Structure 1
Amino acid sequence: MARVPAPGGHPAGMKDDRAGIAQAVANWALWRDTGRWEKLRGLYTDDAIQHTTWFVGPAREFIDRIAARPLGGSQHFVGACAVELNGDRAIAETRLVLLVRSMLQGAEVDVTCYARSYDRFVRAGNAWRIARREMIYEKDRLDPVDPAARIVLDAAALARYPAGYRHLAYLQAAGGAHITPDLPTPGSEVLKRLYAEGERWLKG
C-alpha cells in the first residue's frame, strides 16, 4: 500500500512531520534523563503503552515509577531517526545508546546498551504523540568503573537473558527488578513480529 501524505500533505509538509517526530524522540531522551516529567508525559497519548526491560504497561505508570527514583542513574543518547508516514500515523525507529551506572557486588559498574527505539506516533492536533514505544536491544556490556574492582557474574543467571540485553537485565535483576524475558533482539522471531505488527498498524 502506498504511503499517504498527511492531510493537505506535500513534500514540504511531510518533511515538517518527520522533523517534528524526530524532535519528539530527542526530547524524550533529554526530558526523561533530566526529570522533566510533565513535559515527558506530554509526548505520549493518554492511553500510550511503554515497553522496557523492567516494565510493560501504561506510559503514565512508567513515568510515575521513574519519577520516584533518584536522577542520574541512566542516560540515553539518541542517534539517527528513520520515520515512515501514513496520514495521521507514523513509525519512528531510532538508534539509541543507554548508559546505566549502579552498584553490583559492592562496586560501581557501568552498563552500555546499544538499542533502537520503535515508536508508533499519532497526530494529535498540530503535534505528534507516542502511542506505543518498544525497544529493540542489539548488544550490551558491563564494566567496573574502577578497573581494579573484581566483579564475578553468575554465568547461568546471565545466560537466562537474551544476548541483546543480558548484562543490563542482570544488573537490573540484581537490584530487584522483574525482567521482561522476550524483548526484540536482532534476528529474533519477536523482532519479526514487531515489524509485521507495526506495518499492519501503519497501514490502518
Structure 2
Amino acid sequence: MSADGVTQLVLRERQSRDRGRYTGMAACFADDSMVQMSWFTGSGAEFARQTRAVAGRGGYAVHRLGTPAVRIEGDRALAELPLIIEWRIDVHGTEADLASACRSQYRAQRGTDGHWRVARTTSIYEKDTLVPVLPGARLTVDPEELARYRPSYRFLAWYLNRKGYTVGDHHLGHDRTEAVAEHYRAEHAWLRQDPTPAASATL
C-alpha cells in the first residue's frame, strides 16, 4: 500500500502553517484530532486558529522538513517527520537565530471518503541552538535562567516563556529515553489496534 497519501498529508500540514494557509492547515486534521506541541495542547482546528493568532503577533517560525517515514496498517498510519524549527529573534538588542531540532510524530486515519487526515501529532525534541546573526556579536543570556529548562528544548522553552507562553518540562525529548520508548510502544499499539503495547517498537 502506497504511503504517498500520508506523506503528502504531513508535508501539506506543515507547508500550510508556514505559508499562512490556515484553512488548508485545519483541513488536514480530523474532527476529533489532538495536537500536543511545546506551546499548545488541543484540537487540530484550534491549533490552526492559535497558529494564525501567533503569526499575527509576530511569532513567525519556519520549518525545515526532512523526509517522513511512514508505516500503514489498514486505515491507520504512523508518520515520523524530522524537522528543524527556526526563528529569528531579538535577545536584549542582539539579533539571533534560534533553531530547534525535533521529530514530529503523526497518527493518520483514512476516512470513509478515502482521504487521510491527522488524528494526533506531537514532537520528540532533540536539541536546540541559539547563535548571533552577526559573527562576533555577543549574546547575553542568564545561565541561571536557562538552568530551569531541559537540554532537549532549553532555548525553545526559554524563548517561548519570555513571549508569554507556558512551556512545561513534560514534553518528549532525548533526555528522557524511557518516556520516548513508551511513546513509540503506544504509537505502534495504536497502529495495530493492539490494547497491549509491544515490549519495544521503533519507526
Q: Which moved more, 1:181-190 or 1:121-130?
A: 181-190
Say whether 1:87 aligns with 2:87. Answer: no
Letter in 1 for 2:105: Y
Partner of 2:28 in structure 1?
A: 43
How far 1:190 moved relative to its partner?
2.1
State how far apart, in whole Å, the 2-side matches of 1:28 and 1:162 are. 28
Partner of 1:156 in structure 2?
A: 144
How far 1:26 moved relative to its partner?
1.2
Higher relative CO (CA 8 A, sep ≥ 6), structure 1 or 2? 1
**CA displacement, residues 76-104 of structure 1 (integer Å, 9 cap, x when unaligned):** 11112111111111100111111112222
Runs of 4+ in 1 over 4 A off after TM superposition: none
Are the counterparts in 1 of residues 91 and 140 from structure 2 also a CA contact under 8 Å?
Answer: no
Are the counterparts in 1 of residues 38 and 167 from structure 2 also a CA contact under 8 Å?
Answer: yes
Partner of 1:193 in structure 2?
A: 182
State how far apart, in whole Å, the 2-side matches of 1:101 and 1:24 are. 27
Q: Which moved more, 1:124-133 or 1:66-75?
A: 66-75
Letter in 2 for 1:106: G
**CA displacement, residues 140-167 of structure 1 (integer Å, 9 cap, x when unaligned):** 1011223354322222322222211111
Are the counterparts in 2 of residues 117 and 133 from structure 1 also a CA contact under 8 Å?
Answer: yes
State how far apart, in whole Å, the 1-side matches of 2:163 and 2:172 are. 23
Are the counterparts in 2 of residues 92 and 118 from structure 1 also a CA contact under 8 Å?
Answer: yes
State how far apart, in whole Å, the 1-side matches of 2:42 and 2:147 are. 26
TM-score, length basis structure 2: 0.87
Partner of 1:54 in structure 2?
A: 39
Say whether 1:32 aligns with 2:13. Answer: no
Q: Which moved more, 1:81-90 or 1:139-148?
A: 139-148
How far 1:193 moved relative to its partner?
2.0
Are the counterparts in 2 of residues 115 and 139 from structure 1 also a CA contact under 8 Å?
Answer: yes
Q: Percent identity?
A: 34
State how far apart, in whole Å, the 1-side matches of 2:5 and 2:185 are. 25
How far 1:107 moved relative to its partner?
2.5
State how far apart, in whole Å, the 2-side matches of 1:29 and 1:117 are. 10
- Alpha carbons of structure 1 residues 41 and 203: separation in structure 2 relative to 1, 3 Å: same
Letter in 1 for 2:91: L
State how far apart, in whole Å, the 1-side matches of 2:182 and 2:173 are. 11
Partner of 1:3 in structure 2?
A: none
Partner of 1:179 in structure 2?
A: 167
Aligned length: 189
Letter in 2 for 1:198: E
RMSD: 1.6
Say whether 1:23 aligns with 2:8. Answer: yes
What stretches of structure 1 of length at least 5 have no aligned partner? 1-13
State how far apart, in whole Å, the 2-side matches of 1:157 and 1:48 are. 35
Q: Which moved more, 1:46-55 or 1:147-156?
A: 147-156
Matches within 5 A, 1:107-122: 107-122=94-109
Partner of 1:5 in structure 2?
A: none
